Amino acid sequence: MADKSFPEARVFSPNTRFHALARRPGGVSRSQAIAGAQARIDEMQPEFGGWLNAEINALVEVVKCLKSGASEPAWIDRALFHSNQLRDVGTTMGFELVSYVANTLSMILDRIKAGADFNLASITCHMDALALVRQESYRHLRPDQVPELLNGLHQIAESVSIVPASGQK
Amino acid sequence: MTERTINLRDLSILIADPSPYLRTLLQGMLRGFGAGKMIEAKDAAEVLQALGKHRIDVLLCDGALPGDGGFVLTRRIRRESGNEHRTMPILLMTSDPRETIVKEGRDAGANMVVAKPLSPGNLYDRLAWVAFNPRQYIDTEGYFGPDRRFKNVGGPDGIGRRRGDAIESVKKTGRAPAQDKIDKVFNATSNGRK
């Protein structure tokens, strides 16, 4: 006999347009899709350098304000916006090292936002690393080709006191 | 065997992410997959606005979307009983593939969690997975969404045996290593684990 304290679950199969239409014949195969998507990504490549510089410059401006003590309270959200963009876009555009450096910077900023002690040096180190990886000779390298840089950034990230995980996802 | 294909031509895809560059990049990737109609949203409010105005067939949403975040937004869409988009497939994107975060996405009602940074192969595989492995929906007092105990049908097409795969660059292989961890969480329930 069913326990009345546990209401029964309704189980059903929804007929969504996505499931109906995505499985129609005449679609795109995985290899065609990847080639098509990669072609679109390649079309964006000529402008990527300019975008990368603009994003790093925006971060530099935030840090300049921090150094001069003239930063506004929302500086961390501004910094996170640019850092997260670099992290999320770099690898997709073929620049893994950019994503890698931005990822540890975002980690530090997330921790500061969640209450960790503010440590300007940990941020400026990452700015130096970004200045390095924006250079043509560095940006195409994979993270495993610059282990010293990675170890250094990791140590810096670890030094920012860890607080319980925030709601950042 | 014939290669499986996905047909996104007449589908409306809502791309929700705070980064304008990433939204453009995603649009480009989806156009490469054959998608025709895409709408962009930069925050949770714009997602709700778009859902009110358009018939959206699939939502690709950042987990840390400004506003309440993609996880809360997913839960909200799933919980609203009169919402015509209640059963729409939702793919949550996250740059934090920790197991707790991925489980949170699954428990919010996401059909799949996709690791950032995205690659064309990874995104295509997850869309194909959702399209070809439709799950029953569960409606209970505490949860509305895809059955979290979904059947293990193996990895998406094009993906080899995960644990043995060498980790190569995303550009070369078309997949992000972090996605492996996410897929394990989504598959764990089929083996009786949660």
Residue A92 lies in a domain: yes
Same domain, B121 and B176: no
Range list of H helices, chain A: 17-22, 30-68, 75-90, 96-113, 120-133, 136-139, 147-159
Residue A115 lies in a domain: yes
Same domain, B90 and B117: yes
DSSP B49-114: HHHHHS--SEEEEETT-TTT-HHHHHHHHHH-TT-TTTTS-EEEEES---HHHHHHHHHHT-SEEE
Residue B2 lies in a domain: no
Question: Does B166 score more than 50 pLDDT?
Answer: no
Write the ipTM.
0.86
Of A37, A87, A165, the CB nearest to B32: A37
Question: Does B163 score more than 70 pLDDT?
Answer: no
Same domain, B160 and B141: no
| CB of A154 closer than 8 Å to CB of A122 | no
- Reported pTM: 0.85
Residue B6 lies in a domain: no
Same domain, B89 and B134: yes
Same domain, B127 and B169: no
A111 touches chain B (CB under 8 A): no
Give the H/E segment covering residue A116: none
Token pair, residue A149, equals 């840089």
Residue B62 lies in a domain: yes
Beta bridge partners of B38: B13
For residue B45, which of B18, B79, B25 has the smallest C-alpha distance? B18
User: Which CATH number does the domain housing residue A124 bear?
Assistant: 1.20.120
Question: Does B158 score more than 60 pLDDT?
Answer: no
Range of the domain at B33: 12-146
The Cα of B5 is separated from the nearest Cα of chain A by a number of Å equal to 4
Q: How sure is the predictor about A162, in pLDDT bands with cuts at 50, 70 and 90?
A: low
Q: Which residue has the higher pLDDT, A161 or A26?
A: A26
Question: Does A83 score more than 70 pLDDT?
Answer: yes
| Mean pLDDT (whole number) for A82-109 | 94
Same domain, B140 and B160: no
| Mean pLDDT (whole number) for B147-155 | 66
Assign B139 to helix, strand or coil. strand
User: Which CATH number does the domain housing residue B134 bear?
Assistant: 3.40.50.2300
Per-residue pLDDT tens over the stretch B92-114:
999 988 899 999 999 999 999 99
The Cα of B162 is separated from the nearest Cα of chain A by a number of Å equal to 18
Residue B151 lies in a domain: no
Average pLDDT, chain A: 88
For residue A72, which of A82, A86, A62, A80 has the smallest C-alpha distance? A62
Same domain, B38 and B62: yes
Q: Hey, what long-range contacts does B74-79 have (CB within 8 A, 24 or more apart)?
A: B74/B105, B74/B108, B74/B109, B74/B110, B75/B108, B75/B109, B77/B51, B77/B109, B78/B108, B78/B109, B78/B144, B78/B145, B79/B144
Give how far the C-alpha of residue A63 lies from the chain's centroid of Cα atoms, to the nearest Å. Answer: 18
Question: Does B14 score more than 80 pLDDT?
Answer: yes
Indicate the number of domains in chain B.
2
Residue A144 lies in a domain: yes
What pLDDT, on the 0 to 100 scale, is given for residue A97?
A: 94
Q: How sure is the predictor about A4, in pLDDT bands with cuts at 50, 70 and 90?
A: low
Range of the domain at A109: 46-159
Same domain, B34 and B102: yes
Lowest mean pLDDT among A140-154, B35-49, B58-72: A140-154
Residue B7 lies in a domain: no
Residue B1 lies in a domain: no
A120 touches chain B (CB under 8 A): no
Indicate the number of domains in chain A.
1
Q: How far apart are CA B132 and CA B110, in angstroms?
A: 16
Give the chain B residue whose CA is nearest to the CA of A166.
B101
Give the chain A residue whose CA is nearest to the CA of B125.
A30
Residue A61 lies in a domain: yes
Same domain, B63 and B88: yes
What pLDDT, on the 0 to 100 scale, is given for residue A58?
A: 95
